Each structure stands twice: as C-alpha cells, then as structure tokens.
Amino acid sequence: MRIEFTTEGGIAHFPGLARPVVIESNALPEAEASDLGRLLEAARFFERPAVAEPPRRGAADYRQYTMTVQEGSRRHTVKVIEPVEDPTLQALLRFLQTKARELRRGSRES
C-alpha cells in the first residue's frame, strides 16, 4: 500500500510541509503496517467522499490534509480540514502525521 500525505495551510504555513510525503506500508515495521491497515479500515477510507468533512465557516486559516491511498487497483483521495470531528479520521491523521515527521527528519539527516 502506498499513501501520499500532504499538509497545507494553517496560520503558520511552512512550505516544507506542503511537499507530499510518501508512506509505503511495505517499508514499515510489520506492527505499524498492520496498524495503518486497521486505521484505514476503521475510518472506512475508501468509502469516504473526496472532501470528508466540509470546511466550517471561516475556515480559511485551518490546516487541510490530503491523503491518497493506492492499494492494489484501488486508488482514492480524501481531503480533510481542521478541526477534524470524526475520531477514526483523527486517529488516521495522527498516525500519518507521525510517520511524515519521521520521514522528513530522516531525509534531513541523510
């Protein structure tokens, strides 16, 4: 499984965060890959509309996250905008944010 994860916007916008991070499940430790699959399933990712939760009024400065998941022949993109109300999406976002930070940190050290 391949996930492209992008963070955009927010009051303190950092251009480095806007670059997509690619997370390959086969490069993750087995337990993390399993957690990722469970989180995607719990969030019913492939059943969600392209914009998971419409922006609230005045949401111009909120961060938005774009997740594109490629699993076999399935490919789906979902965009969410803070604040994220759905707890299953919150858990998936936390996981992806953590992995994205680790990957960005790792690429700076290389």
Give one DSSP letter per residue of 44-108, joined into a string. Answer: TGGGS-SBSSPPPTTGGGSEEEEEEEEETTEEEEEEEESSP--HHHHHHHHHHHHHHHHHHHHHH
Q: How many domains, in total, are found in the chain? A: 1
Q: What is the pLDDT of residue 55?
A: 63
Instruction: For tokens 């953590």, name the residue.
Output: 98
SS3 label, residue 3: strand
Q: What is the pLDDT of residue 106?
A: 75
Structural domain includes residue 87: yes
Structural domain includes residue 110: no
CA distance 4 to 9: 17
Mean pLDDT, 10 residues at a time, the chain of 110 residues: 88 62 95 97 95 66 90 95 91 95 73
Structural domain of 98: 2-105
Structural domain includes residue 16: yes
Q: What is the pLDDT of residue 35?
A: 97
Structural domain includes residue 32: yes
Structural domain includes residue 41: yes
Q: What is the pLDDT of residue 23?
A: 96
pTM above 0.95, yes or no: no
Q: What is the pLDDT of residue 67?
A: 96
